[in-house]
Amino acid sequence: MKSVFTLLCFIVVLNVNAQNGNPDTISDTANAVIIHKDPRLDLLVKKQAEVNKVTGVDNRKTDKGYRILVISTNNREEALKAKTKIYTYFPDLKAYLWYQSPYFRVKAGNFKDKQTADKYKNRLSVYFPNGVFVMKDIIEQKKGKGLNDEKED
């Protein structure tokens, strides 16, 4: 029993000492990692940074205004058809497809005043007879140009 205990202690001591490597004996150059980088990557990173500055969230302007609710349905295909119909017949309006469980909602336009939205509402109701509604919403503005979709025909 005494020899088994001595053998067990000897094995434990060997295992503990095996974990302590001598860092002075390991060569630094043997563990060095050499990276070969294509210089074109720096150009790509710079270009992407410029694109991010232009298209970033900080450059988007929003304001209170009106949008036209064209359809609210739980059928995605029907919502996509409505969005396509808006782009087909009203290319000057921007259409937005929102999913708010369980409904898909299609809204159109970025109108600052309700009168302009009402004019488009009357024109849209010809293509969407089930009901078109003007709703208050947060709208997008083009930076430096004013509001989208306020063209008068």
Total tally of structural domains belonging to the chain = 1
pTM: 0.56
The one-letter code for the residue type at 54 is: V
116-119: long-range contacts at Cβ-Cβ below 8 A with a sequence spacing of 24 or more?
A: 116/150, 116/152, 117/66, 117/67, 117/68
Structure tokens given for 13: 């001591």
12-21 residue pLDDT tens: 776 665 555 5
Residue 150 within a domain: no
The mean pLDDT of the chain is 83
Residue 115 within a domain: yes
CATH code assigned at 92: 3.30.70.1070
Residue 89 within a domain: yes
| Nearest residue to 151 via CA among 111, 114, 106, 123 | 111
Residue 74 within a domain: yes
73-124 residue pLDDT tens: 999 999 999 999 999 999 999 999 999 989 999 999 999 999 999 999 999 9
Separation CA 85–CA 145 (nearest Å): 27
Residue 96 within a domain: yes
Question: Which among 29-43, 53-67, 86-100, 132-146 has the top mean pLDDT?
Answer: 86-100
HSE-up of residue 9 (Cα within 13 Å, Cβ side): 6
The one-letter code for the residue type at 5 is: F
Residues 6+ apart with CB under 8 A from 8: none
